[in-house]
A and B are shown apart, each in its own frame.
Chain A
Amino acid sequence: MSPAPAVQIMPPEKPVPMVSAPQQQPPLAPEPETPFKVEVQDLNVYFRANHAIRHVTLGVKPQTVLAVIGPSGCGKSTFIRALNRMHDLVPGARVEGRVFVDGEDLYARGIDPVLLRRRVGMVFQRPNPFPTMSIYENVAAGLTLNGIGGNHAEIVEHCLRQAALWDEVKDRLRHAGTSLSGGQQQRLCIARALAVEPEVLLMDEPASALDPIATAKIEELIHELKEKYTIVIVTHSMQQAARVSDNTAFFYLGELIEMGPTAQIFTNPRERRTEDYVTGKFG
């Protein structure tokens, strides 16, 4: 991890906390209300007795990028998966609290997770291409599934280009998705998620297996996508968080310690633990 906070990358601004953990309600003047695209209220996730996410409350504005950082095992993946109701099918997992997308509570009774997941795309921490499908079929899978028409070949090419994979696979689109390298599979999964044009994109360490060039391309992509989408990205790289995100949330032991504009989190955090983490004292 970088020993120094990313001062050079993002010049400090006036700290404007978006939302904070309940115990530190800032008495700042309320901003004009832009409705949150994604809003989380008092979210708790349990794996049997393990209380993995504790009372998390935060909001993400439309067309912004939220970076989720924190030491390994602090619950970043658990948090981001809760935004897509991915815990529904995990035996022993239980979710409490409310998650709103466009003001609609995902965990309310009568909400169909299937319809929700079509609007909220996800790139998983471990690449998971469909093993029986070719590269092409992997990217087109969501199109076929959701009955999206149009020129699939064109969409597939576009998404593979966006994910910086096209040049490497254009001559072997009919080969198995699993025949690719780990980093290539990760980009394939990014392309697959892009194809269905989700409104909210959840990315769990999308660049963890990529070389610097591919990483730069993915970060560029995130900048591009921000024009249209709302993005939540988990990352272990402070520099990456600093480069791509508008806001950063720091998690520790399942709690949201601090959230605010990225520049402020890295240069002028309110919490001691945040500072220790971003300056590389632990984690």
Chain B
Amino acid sequence: MPSREAIIDAPASEAAAAQHHASHPGTSNLGDRLFNSTLWILGAMILVVAGLIVLNLAVAARPLAKDHSLWGFITETQWDPVEDRFGALTFLYGTLVTSMVSLILAVPVAIGLSLFITQFAPPKLGRVLTMPVELLAAIPSVVYGLWGLFIVVPWLRASVEPWLGKHLGWIPLFQGPPIGLGYLASSMILAVMILPTIVAVSVEVMKTTPEATREAALALGATKWEAVMMTVIPYSRAGIVGAVLLGLGRALGETMAVTMVIGNSPQISASLFAAGYSLPAVIANEFAEATSSVHVAALAGLGLILFATTFLLNAGARVLVNAVQRGPRRVSG
């Protein structure tokens, strides 16, 4: 029960508020505009920073333009600092292959795990399971590298690669001597590294599916699985794609762990067993020793290519999602 004073006060204070409003027309409007323009400036700053990075890299890569065309630099496979021959293709290839294979390994597991955590596991188990996943995300990449070097690589060399070679050896991907170090090792480490990112984001997205719609599906006679496919998956599709893109971003840019297990040999090979190299790895390895200005410029050029690759893959994925996003129109009318 409100007190008598409160009851009497209420209209008075309302009137006061109204008067306050009337006597300062546009006050709140000004606040809104200030707030709005601040946000606009912050948003623009992100673009400016990104633009400046690209600009700086481009300036640093200038000397390369003397005897390399852009297209030549991208398609050239030779990387020979002694002879001043620089081509980015081997590194680009290594980066793309390891990232893609890691996505192929991680995404199904991550989505399955997220579905299990949010939809199928008892709530307590779900909460318990998210803890180790979050822990995985917090492990420094050099530790992943060590784990890869001491555990994953020997295991690949001794068991996985011989087995794959024996049973799937007719596919070029699984041919060649099992050395352990190489694309497959990097992809596996990357898969483990991006898994927690994808799971954490997907779980949050899936949790936002309204419970009532799942009940609606069940009431129509859906099994638990059908209800998930009818409600949770379409509802969180865009968010899951976002999660995968975050994971992809991490895979593309990962330097340390990849350097430790990819073998660091600039060559293109169809086999996942072969050693290779990646864009971030070569930049990190050679920057300190780069003496000639062309060498430094070439490394800056690799940075630009890495930047562009990340950008293009993200944009491409977004376009793809928008294209396949069936779904009804949102506007009424």
Chain A positions within 8 Å of B, measured between CB atoms, are 84, 86, 89, 91, 113-115, 117-118, 121-122, 124, 126, 128-135, 137, 141-142, 145-146, 172, 174-177, 179-180, 189, 192-193, 196
Contact = CB atoms under 8 A, between A and B. Distances in A.
Give the 9 A-B CB pairs with smallest separation, nearest first: A134-B328, A118-B221, A128-B212, A132-B234, A179-B332, A142-B220, A122-B219, A176-B328, A128-B216
Interface of B: 123, 210, 212-223, 226, 230-231, 234-235, 237, 327-333
Nearest to A125: B212
Nearest to A132: B234
Contacts of B237: 132
A86 B219 contact: yes
11 contacts: A89-B218, A118-B221, A130-B231, A134-B329, A145-B222, A172-B333, A175-B329, A176-B328, A176-B332, A192-B216, A193-B219
SS class, residues of chain A in contact with chain B: mixed
Given A114-B221, A130-B230, A196-B221, A174 B216 contact: no
A146 B220 CA distance: 8
B329 A174 contact: yes
Given A124-B215, A126-B212, A189-B216, A146 B332 contact: no
Nearest to A126: B212
Contacts of B210: 128, 131
Contacts of B234: 130, 132-133
Given A117-B221, A128-B216, A134-B329, 17 more contacts: A117-B220, A118-B220, A122-B219, A128-B210, A128-B213, A130-B213, A132-B328, A137-B328, A141-B220, A142-B221, A145-B222, A146-B221, A174-B329, A179-B328, A179-B330, A180-B332, A189-B216
A146 to B, nearest CB: 6
A91 B123 contact: yes
B332 A132 contact: no
A192 B220 contact: yes
Contacts of B329: 134, 174-176, 179
B219 A121 contact: yes
